[in-house]
């Protein structure tokens, strides 16, 4: 097929459709009928070009026009309930599931660093002396650590925890614009802090007490932090290795998908904050508090695996439903 001739022949139709889409809120009845007709015709043109042309920019522009026309024809947006259901059952879990290697790797390295530093701190009086005086350490392990979870009203503490955790996740995702390079540094700093606290508490014989306070909320909280770091580093890696797609297209698709994770993590951190404010300092037996944390963590992982695997089987990526095939370059 002569693509240039095809474009020359149908360009007026595309321009007319674009004009109608721009004025979609002020169309007459006849123009609405024309919009529907042109949408169907231009959709056919797009299918022809996809099978006959390698001009990515042209296909991208026409794909974007068809998507906008579809939105105008169907009422601009899908019902809010449908968008919400798609987000919960497809967009968030499929991006998390597709990042499982990065997610698992992030968790393994983080926990290994924390364990190594904890053993180092617990077994080295010199390191403990460098951290603080014996009086400072005694106050931390016997008073301040537990008081952190109970000295503030539950509602305000939950909000504080949610904001802090969301900020950590937001930085992890934002650092993807720097190829994700700052993310390991940020995660290492957090792992070191956890390791130091564990080392001091275990040295004082209160390691079990600390784990009893951390487990109810920390399992879900750390899992969410690992996910934020994983998708941020994966997006950064896309710049280096976009695969068989144009780099701009790969970045656009992956970037839009990562937004779904960012939004979903707001909810996950909200749940973790409620656990940290309500369950962690509660008078419930330790085994019950830990059991609640484990149950919530297991439910979250099961949710991601079930819906994520199902979405992958349907060839979903987490990208928006009406995304253009490529990012227009002109």
The neighbour count for residue 314, using CB atoms within 10 Å, is: 9
Report mean pLDDT in 10-residue bins for the chain, 330 residues: 83 90 82 88 88 79 86 65 84 92 95 96 92 88 76 64 76 80 91 91 88 88 93 85 72 77 89 87 88 96 96 78 42
The reported pLDDT for the residue numbered 323 is 46
Helix, strand and coil in the chain, % to nearest 5: 80, 0, 20
| Cα-based distances in Å from 239 to 123, 298, 329 | 42, 33, 17
Q: Provide the 10 A C-beta neighbour count for residue 170.
A: 15
Could you identify the residue written with the tokens 């209160």?
A: 206
Predicted model pTM: 0.71
Cβ-proximal residues to 244 (8 Å cutoff; 6+ apart), any chain? none
| C-alpha–C-alpha distance, residues 225 and 184, integer Å | 12
Task: Assess contact for 243 and 254: CB atoms under 8 A.
Answer: no
Question: What pLDDT is recorded for position 179?
Answer: 80
Of residues 105, 110, 114, 109, the one with CA closest to residue 194: 114
Q: What pLDDT is attached to residue 63?
A: 86
Report the residue count for the chain: 330
């Amino acid at each position: 097929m002569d693509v240039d001739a095809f474009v020359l022949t149908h360009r007026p139709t595309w321009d007319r459709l674009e004009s109608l889409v721009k004025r979609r809120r002020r169309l007459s009845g006849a123009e609405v009928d024309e919009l529907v007709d042109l949408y169907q015709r231009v959709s056919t043109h797009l299918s022809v070009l996809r099978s006959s042309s390698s001009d990515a920019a042209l296909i991208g522009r026409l794909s974007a026009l068809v998507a906008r026309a579809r939105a105008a024809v169907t009422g601009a947006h899908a019902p809010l309930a449908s968008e919400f259901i798609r987000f919960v059952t497809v967009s968030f879990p499929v991006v998390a599931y597709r990042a499982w290697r990065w997610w698992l790797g992030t968790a393994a390295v983080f926990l290994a660093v924390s364990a190594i530093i904890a053993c180092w701190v617990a077994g080295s009086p010199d390191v403990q002396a460098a951290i603080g005086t014996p009086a400072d350490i005694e106050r931390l392990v016997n008073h301040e650590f537990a008081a952190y979870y109970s000295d503030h009203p539950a509602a305000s503490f939950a909000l504080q925890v949610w904001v802090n955790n969301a900020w950590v996740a937001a930085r992890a995702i934002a650092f993807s614009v720097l190829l994700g390079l700052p993310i390991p540094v940020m995660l290492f700093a957090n792992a070191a802090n956890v390791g130091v606290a564990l080392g001091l508490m275990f040295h004082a014989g209160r390691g079990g007490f600390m784990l009893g306070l951390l487990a109810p909320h920390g399992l879900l909280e750390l899992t969410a932090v690992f996910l934020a770091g994983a998708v941020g580093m994966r997006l950064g890696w896309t710049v280096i290795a976009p695969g068989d797609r144009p780099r701009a297209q790969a970045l656009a698709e992956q970037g839009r998908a990562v937004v779904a994770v960012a939004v979903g993590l707001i909810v996950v951190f909200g749940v973790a904050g409620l656990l940290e404010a309500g369950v962690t300092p509660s008078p419930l037996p330790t085994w019950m508090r830990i059991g609640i944390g484990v149950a919530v963590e297991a439910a979250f992982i099961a949710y991601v695996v079930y819906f994520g695997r199902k979405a992958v089987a349907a060839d979903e990526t987490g990208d928006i439903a009406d995304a253009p095939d490529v990012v227009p370059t002109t």
